[in-house]
Amino acid sequence: MEYTPYTLLVDIGLISALLLIGKLIRAYTRPVQSLLIPSSITAGILGLIFGPAVLGWLPFSDQLGTYSTILIAVVFGAMPYSMEFSGRVLKGARAMWSFSTGMYVLQWGAAVLFGLIVLSFLFDTPDWFGLMLPVGWVGGFGTAAAIGGSLEDSGQEAAMTLGFTSATIGTLVAIIGGIIMAKWGAETGRTAQIGDTSELPEELRTGLISIIGQRPAIGHATSSPSSLEPLALHVAVVGMTTIGAYGLQQGVAALFPEVSIPLFALAFVVGMAGRGILEITNGKKYVDQDTVSAVSGSATDFLVAFGVASIVPAIVADYAIPLIILMVFGFVYCFIIFRFVSPAMFGEQWIERGIFGWGWSTASVATAIALLKIVDPSMKSKTLEEFGVAYVGYSPFEIGMTIAAPLLIIAGFTWPYAIVVTLGGIAVFVLAFILGWTKNGDEDDEGEEAEAEESAGGSHASGLPDKPTG
């Protein structure tokens, strides 16, 4: 079928309808509420089932995977305009930074190493196959689109499908496993604040904010509608960044045909340059971070829906057994981090931080927050405060890994990459204990925090940066 502008309209219209159906299912179906399944995943699953790959009832085009590649470039292009750059890392977040960075880096290295040593030997899987675990779990749907697209461009057509399949499985593992762990924590006396998914706030369970006074603003107007709508201004900034990255990619390809640079990576670079220009020209104040985040978040929802709907069941079937083994390896890895590393890193209040870590190491920060609210409904553990500050120092590893991993693997450096990254993840944990960057080794800091909390009359909320590709 010939692809026309109306084909794009049909694709967007159908996925939009499925997103609304997913929203209604989340709002009014208790089993879906108890599992906290995002509407975008529901929409993607419906698109997969009723689309050309299975039943063939919905006339999607064959470009759904391409949309995911473009949308992840939009997300990365928007990122520099919405990020806070600060060198402030508080003492209370040192353990969280060590835990987050070590767990993140080690999952990437260990999974690729497992794929090379075990799966490649048993099933003759490609060298990049082990990468599908961190891509979908600790990375999330955005990373699955980014790295899957990069590998597809180099001829690995199964990468995008396997990445989105991994991310979908990871989300289910995160929610079901997290709820079980939360109940185990209550039964064993490790937390006294245990709740249930039914006790979570209505807006978190249903996804609908019914009380008008509690509805947050998605941004602030920096442009008069008489000249240009504020939302249009911010969409234009992100759009210009994305097309600039595409132009740069085409230019590099024309000059160096053997070089392939992912579009999302160039979008981040162009976005950084754009932010720099805005700061030099004093134009940064007219680009509202919240509005850019809303644009990026909207792109992410469509990205997830298109990505899951574009899964090719035949490819999943071809890799079914090694994929299942890889997912089991991921479960074991994340469980070890939760059950053994978390207590060693965080001491008495490890269960809250451990469950939070479980949530985002298998799915996303949003899932982690939902699970945290089950074991810490009043947020007294300060887990979010620590993660919010630690993210400043952790985010370069997250962004850098997403950009560097496919480039190194495509270039044939899979073994060196796997070994160096694995050792790097282990080194972060070891240094944390040597330097005393743990709750067990930070008693003075805990005392200071307790005094500060007592004088302030309790804990306080803090801003939390969103995870860019989960």
pLDDT tens profile 318-372: 999 999 999 999 999 999 999 999 999 988 779 989 999 999 899 887 788 778 8
> Taking all residues of the chain, what is their mean pLDDT, rounded to a whole number?
85
Q: Is 154 domain-assigned?
A: yes
pLDDT confidence band for 184 (50 / 70 / 90): confident
Lowest model confidence (mean pLDDT) among 65-79, 183-197, 295-309, 332-346: 183-197
The pLDDT value recorded for residue 113 is 97
Specify if 461 maps to a domain.
no
Q: Report the pLDDT value the prediction gives residue 466, as an integer from 0 to 100.
A: 41
Q: What is the DSSP string of 291-308?
A: HHHHHHHHHHHHHHHHHH
| Domain-embedded: residue 368 | yes
- What is the reported pLDDT for 195? 58
pLDDT higher than threshold 50 for residue 119? yes
For residue 10, what are its two tokens?
């049909």
Read off the pLDDT band of 278 (50, 70, 90): very high
Nearest of 127, 153, 132, 152 to residue 143 by alpha carbon: 132
What's the angle, vertex CA 391, arms to CA 386 and CA 396, rounded to 5? 155
Residue 197: pLDDT band by 50, 70, 90 thresholds? low
Q: How far is Cα 302 from Cα 14, in angstroms, rounded to an integer? A: 11
Q: What is the pLDDT of residue 192?
A: 55
pLDDT of residue 363: 84
Average pLDDT (95-106) is 94
The structure tokens listed for 271 are 């976005």
Give domain status of residue 171, yes or no. yes
Using pLDDT thresholds of 50, 70 and 90, give the confidence band for residue 107: very high
Q: Which pLDDT score is estimated for 467?
A: 43
Closest CA to 300 of 22, 78, 58, 85: 78
Q: Which of 424, 426, 416 is nearest to 397 (CA)?
A: 424
For residue 58, the SS3 value is: coil
Report residue 36 as tokens.
Answer: 């906290």
Higher pLDDT, 412 or 452: 412
Higher pLDDT residue, 343 or 463?
343
Residue 92 pLDDT: 53
Range of the domain at 342: 62-202+228-439
Task: State yes or no: pLDDT of 245 exceeds 80.
Answer: yes
pLDDT of residue 142: 81
pLDDT at position 284 over 80: yes
> Does 10 map to a domain?
no
The answer for residues whose C-beta is within 8 angstroms of residue 200's C-beta and 6 or more apart is 370, 373, 374, 377
The yes-or-no verdict on residue 26 having pLDDT over 70 is yes
In a domain, 284, yes or no: yes
The answer to whether residue 257 is domain-embedded is yes
Is the pLDDT score of 253 beyond 90? no
Q: Are 310 and 61 in contact (CB under 8 A)?
A: no
Burial of 436 (0-12, 13-18, 19+ CB in 10 A): middle
Report pLDDT for 3: 86
Residues 6 or more apart in contact with residue 387 via CB below 8 angstroms: 93, 96, 100, 356, 365, 464
Number of domains into which the chain is organized: 1
Residue 201: closest CA among 461, 459, 464, 377: 377
46 within some domain: no
To the nearest whole percent, how much of the chain has pLDDT over 90? 44
Amino acid found at 67: Y
pLDDT at residue 443 is higher than 50: no
pLDDT of res. 385: 74
If you average pLDDT over residues 425-429, what whole number do you get? 96
Q: Which of 97-101, 330-334, 395-399 has the highest mean pLDDT?
A: 330-334
Would you state the pLDDT for residue 166?
94
Tokens read off for 205: 């369970």
pLDDT beyond 90 at 118: yes
Q: How far is CA 138 from CA 36, 133, 339, in A?
A: 18, 8, 17
CA distance 381 to 446: 12
Long-range contacts of 395-402 (CB under 8 A, 24+ apart): 395/83, 395/465, 395/468, 397/101, 397/104, 397/105, 398/104, 398/467, 398/468, 398/469, 399/79, 399/268, 399/468, 401/104, 401/105, 401/108, 402/139, 402/143, 402/146, 402/147, 402/264, 402/469
| Contact (CB, 8 A) for 266 and 250 | no
pLDDT at site 457: 39
d(CA 408, CA 435): 31
